[in-house]
Every structure is written in C-alpha cells, then in structure tokens.
Structure 1
Amino acid sequence: MITATIILFLSVFISAISQILLKKSALKKWKNSLREYLNLYVITAYTIFFTAVFLDLLALRKVNLSLVPVAEASSYIFVIILSRIFLKEKLSKLKALAILLIVTGIIIFLY
C-alpha cells in the first residue's frame, strides 16, 4: 500500500512536470503552427503525461481511493514550485496562501 501511494504521488509530480513543459512550449514563438504542436517540449510533455497515467493505473489497483483527491490536490503545489524553478515565475502572496491551504487540507485529511 505504501508503494502504491508513492507511485500515486509520483504520477501527480510527473504530470506537473508535463504541464511545465507544455507551458514552456506555449511561451515560445514557433515558425509555424505545425511546429507549435510538434516540437520536443510538446512531444516530451505528452509522453511524460501518458507515463503518469500508466503509473496512476498501477497505483489505483492498490491504493485507497479516498487518497486520490489528496494526491491530485498536491499537483497544484508541484506546479507552483516547478513554475518558480523552471519558468522563474514569482511566488505571490496569493499563491503562498493557496499552498498553505492545500497543505493544511492534506494534513487534516491524513489525520
């Protein structure tokens, strides 16, 4: 069960990485619309996303389903942190508050 829980959170983290890659691609100017949708960022992001879906399916066979919303909520935290690191986005007070509320909700749920 612990392994399945780790796999579930790993899939959520991998999905967040996929979102960052898609945003990185969207921020770039491409020569034509074909390149906009068929470039290394997009192809890698969707490959990573399908890997995350596969990991989700593995985890869902063993993990308690009531844990899934908690794992999915953690994706917001991962995206904010990864956006700060890779996209150099600022961590506003509102985003910090959002992280705090999500973490509080996860802690309340787990205990």
Structure 2
Amino acid sequence: MLELYVGVYLLGVLISSVSQVLLKKAAMRQYETPLKEYLNPWVITAYALFFGATLMTILAYKVVPLSMGAILEATAYLYITFFGVTIFKEKLGRDKAIALLLIVGGIIVYSLGMS
C-alpha cells in the first residue's frame, strides 16, 4: 500500500515540475497587457497542474510518513534539472552535477535505512 502512495507522491512532484516549466515558458514571452501575462493558457494550465499536484500530495500523506515526504520532494531537483537541460538548453556545470549526486546519494541512503 505504501508503494502506491509513494508513486502518487512522486507523480505529483513530476506534475509540479512540469507546471514550473510551463510557467517559465510563459515568463519568456512578451504580452500586450499585464492581464494577458497572467491570464493565458500557459499560466492557467500551470496553476491547474499545481493544484492537482497539491491534491495528490495531500492524498499521499494519508499513508506516506512525513519524514519520507521531504526525500520524495527532493526528486523535483532531478526533474527540474532534466527539463532545464533538455528543454531550455541550460548547462549542467560541475557544481550542479555534484549537488545532484549528493541529492541522489541522500535518497539512496534514506531508502536503504527504510528496509
């Protein structure tokens, strides 16, 4: 049962990361009016996804321990880095790569402690 809720949590984190990409795409555009800057399909979709991801997180916390939630939330750094490199052509520098390895290492250490 825990695995299902962990999957729901991770899917929510992924959806939240996708919504951040949509917001960044929206921010990179020029708009005729400030109202159009906030009321456009990119932004509205992103906030709808954020809302859905929040509901998924709330549902997952019915079973997922709070201490595990922070670890699962850390996977967002991996998703965002992947999207940044693939979609926005951002560079993955040495410091960022080391930071990501530390995050993955922390997730692995926590997972090993759960068994």
**TM tier relative to shorter chain:** over 0.9
Moved over 6 A (4+): none
Residues 1:55 and 2:56 aligned together: yes
Report the Cα distance in structure 1 between the residues aligned to 2:87 and 2:4, rounded to whole angstroms: 28
Residues 1:77 and 2:59 aligned together: no
| 2:101 corresponds to 1:94 | no
Identity over the aligned pairs, expressed in percent?
A: 41
SS of residue matched to 1:89: coil
TM-score, length of structure 2 as denominator length: 0.91
Could you tell me which runs of 5 or more consecutive residues in structure 1 were left unpaired when the two chains were aligned: none
Q: What secondary structure does 2:30 align onto? A: coil
2:44 alignment partner in structure 1: 43
Q: TM-score, normalised by structure 1?
A: 0.94
Q: Cα deviations across residues 13-45 of structure 1 (Å, max 9, x unaligned)?
A: 111111111111111111111111111110010
Q: Distance in 1 between matches of 2:53 and 2:47?
A: 10
Structure 2: segments with no counterpart, 5+ residues: none
Q: Is the contact made by 1:24 and 1:87 (CA closer than 8 Å) also made in structure 2? A: no
Q: CA RMSD in A?
A: 1.0
Aligned length: 111
